[in-house]
Amino acid sequence: MGDTAGEVAPGTGDEGERPAEGERPAAGERPAAAPTRDRPWVMRTYSGHSTAKASNQLYRTNLAKGQTGLSIAFDLPTQIGYDPDSPEAAGEVGKVGVPVAHLGHMAQLLDQIPVESMNTSMTINATAGWLLGLYIANAEDRGVDPRVLSGTTQNDIVKEYLSRGTFIFPPLPSRRLTVDTIAYTVRHVPKWNPINVCSYHLQEAGATPHQEVAYALATAIGVLDAVQESGQIPGDGFPSVVGRISFFVNAGVRFVEETCKMRTFTSLWDRVCTERYGVTDPTLRRMRYGVQVNSLGLTEAQPENNVPRIVLEALGVTLSKRARARALQLPAWNEALGLPRPWDQQWSLRIQQILAFESDLLEYGDIFDGSVVIENKTAELAEASWAELADVLALGGAFEAIDELKSRLVRSQADRVRRIETGELQVVGVNCFTETAESPLSPEGPEPGSSAGSAGPAAASILRVDPAVESELRADVEAWRSARDGRAVARALDELRKAAEGTENIMPATIALAHAGGTTGEWAGALREVFGEYRAPTGVGGGVGHRGSEFRAVLSRSKAMAERSGGPPRLLVAKPGLDGHSNGAEQIAVAARDAGFEVVYQGIRLSPAEIAAAARDEDVDVVGVSILSGSHLELVPEIVDRLRAAGVDAPVVVGGIIPPEDAEILMGKGVARVYTPKDFEIGQIMDDMLGLAEVHRSGLVG
């Protein structure tokens, strides 16, 4: 999901004087003035899809409805440095965000939007320098001084290695790119937040509150230490660098604990700024953070329940004035089903507006000051977070401890999933209170054969990207290349490589390439030549061995199968395409090992050809495909075809956010099972896949 802390902060003026409870003005006195209200946070919706022109129309519509900042979602090829006509981009163009391949797309995206006064968040990481370069170049083309631009680039690569998966380069070159964007913006785009240290995806990957705080602080420390070591910022200018660091956090439904977490976060960041970096100006030590409330907790079953969940999660980051978010974006109620429509996003925006403008929240100081419960819980979280931070720093820091942190997150997530399965962690409409009436939000009512608790919204309740978009974008980028000055682009690419190979800041060469007409794929390709690419750890070993009692029956069957046929059932867990959200795949891999499977899991971004080769070489009994990017109709049939062409007759199962009508199509293409978020009982999935493996091993399938 997207993010960013905004430039506009809640008001910090004096609170209005209010009459004591029950007190009325004396006869002849004027009534007391209305209470002073703090300014509300920046309100955003995380959006972008199909094309730059279509996304621009959506942005201008949302701004007209009262949204006060932009939050741009980019598609996966843009995030991972591929142009729309790259083979790696097949099936992914425009699916989870907007494709931006060149300066022309950035101009279309921001058409009629006043960038000189707009606060823009860009959820972009591995290619953050490039998208920022395009944003700056577009402003310059419009005659806007980059010094007035305000907004944020997420630019947090650590959490990409740990949870989200849109990394390209190894950790140290990636950190160097982050350092360069920070050093450049502090001097030339001073109102820009060059990094948004993002704990949001850590919580999605299983982080406990104290892990979320500690790992985010460790990332910020790793980046700031590297800025110091780079020598690009003089010593007296370093406090200003610290003051430009922003954060992006998650807020779950346990909103009391989330309130305490944010109070912990703000106090510990102040401590880091003071003790480690010697920042004396309290305004530069202030924790500036934005929020996307928890999307992991949104359910496919009874999705209307997601609305109160979203409201409660918003309270966790707005109730406490001392720890209030500076920017907030809320997911749509139906994001567990697919891509939200404009109306769905409007509903989420209205929740923010009602909270800010109808309620009295912004009329008071911090309502929790003096609360023994809040103070005790905050102190408890602070102690645990500081101890976890010290442990990470003892391991060398966030960049150096990626493998260990990944294992810890997978272990925490495995425990969370287990507690949902057993009912220890209750989720309304999923593992309790599953009876439901037909939902008026579902145009066709429950889907035939839907499980208890599933409202089964039909296709009309989500937005679908036109399949023609990909071919249109391929033609667009080809036309762009043919119309530009190829020699100027070649010279700009040479300068970019030269900067990357040396110690020169990467941003001037990046902006020059944007002006010359370079593309996203060319920028990333040049840096791939210099820095290479990275394969992140899977961390699946960290969660194995925690389901002995729950999986006793399945494990017994697996052992019996091994004794009968000479080996345990073998499962290939595959992540095709550019989708990097690997939490589900990792949890299936962990659970399958607990259930007695021999698991082959090679991480994210495998091509259909690589998946077919792995299935053939490993002689697997079941092929499990995990896909969350919406490209299932393009990639899964190709995987099935390549498997069969390679002589692999193992059944194929697919998991992801897959609408029922798409599931029927996949079943017609040869997929044996389709699992979606409503299928939360992993034990049942293991039992099901073991049955498929038993049939395959016995030779009855093929």
Q: Is the separation of the CB atoms in 611 and 652 below 8 Å?
A: no
* Angle of the 402-422 helix axis to the 682-697 helix axis, nearest 10: 100
Tokens 């720093």 appear where?
393
Q: Which of 331, 423, 306, 308 is nearest to 680 (CA)?
A: 423
Query: For residue 44, which phi and psi values (nearest 5 degrees)?
Result: -135, 160
Tell me, yes or no, if 200 is annotated catalytic: yes
Single out the catalytic residue among 85, 156, 579, 621: 579
State the burial class of residue 396 (Cβ atoms within 10 Å of its Cβ: 0-12, 13-18, 19+). Answer: exposed
Amino acid at 216: A
696 carries an active-site annotation: no
Strand, helix or coil at 624?
strand
Burial class (CB in 10 A: 0-12, 13-18, 19+), 69: buried
Beta bridge mates, 433? none
Written as six digits, the tokens of 645 are: 């062409």
Per annotation, catalytic residue among 575, 632, 678, 696: 575
Establish whether 201 is a catalytic residue: yes
Whether residue 46 lies in the annotated active site: yes
The most distant pair of C-alpha atoms in the chain lies apart, rounded to whole Å, by 96
Phi-psi region of 82 (alpha: psi -120 to 50; beta: other; left: phi over 0): beta
Backbone angles phi, psi at 157, to 5 degrees: -85, -25
Residue 24 burial (10 A CB sphere; 0-12, 13-18, 19+): exposed
Hey, is 668 helix, strand or coil? helix
Phi-psi region of 25 (alpha: psi -120 to 50; beta: other; left: phi over 0): beta
* Inter-residue contact 313 to 294 (CB < 8 Å): yes
- CA-based nearest residue to 302, from 429, 134, 482: 429
Which of 210, 581, 632, 696 is catalytic? The answer is 581
Residue 373: count of CB within 10 angstroms of its CB: 10
Positions marked active-site: 46, 200-201, 575, 579, 581
